[in-house]
Amino acid sequence: MKRLALILALLPWPALADAVVDQYRGPVDACYAQANRSENLDACYDLLTAACVNAAPQGETTLGRSQCLQAELAYWDEWLNREYGVTMAQMRERDTYHRANSPQYAVGEDLLRAAQRAWVVFRDADCQSRHSVWAEGSIGQIIYPSCLAERTFERVQDLIRLREN
């Protein structure tokens, strides 16, 4: 077990998370494709973690669960970047319309960018504060990536919801 932990500690986390995402993303991708509204995405959250925990050799250990949660975060971060791009494009389009008709309202792109930057700061601080409560125990290895994944998933929904309105 110590040898496995040492090997895993030497691997770059993003590469490890990407490999886990690639292995377990199928059901989540299918769920995402079927969700036609932001609230329907609720069924998609945690599918990757559940598949990883159940199938990975060390999935039910603290270290294994932590790695599965890192993969969940990587998955939703990928979608966050996509949805942010789509939402930003929509804001740009609206700003173009407003520049011609109501210039005072041509601020959507700037406001979305500012909101996203503020959200990243909030997410990180929120998850660090949650982690600090449990940092001494082994559960701390699970709390932080779990919080990051959950907050990132919620932001994906927020961006979609913004376009739906």
Q: What is the pLDDT of residue 15?
A: 59
Q: What are the tens digits of pLDDT across the range 56-98? A: 777 788 888 989 999 999 999 999 999 999 999 999 999 999 8
Residues 137 and 14: their CA atoms lie apart, in Å, by 24
* pTM, rounded to two decimals: 0.85
The whole-angstrom separation of Cα 113 and Cα 147 is 22
pLDDT digits (tens, 9 = 90+) for 115-162: 999 999 999 999 999 999 987 888 888 999 999 999 999 999 999 999
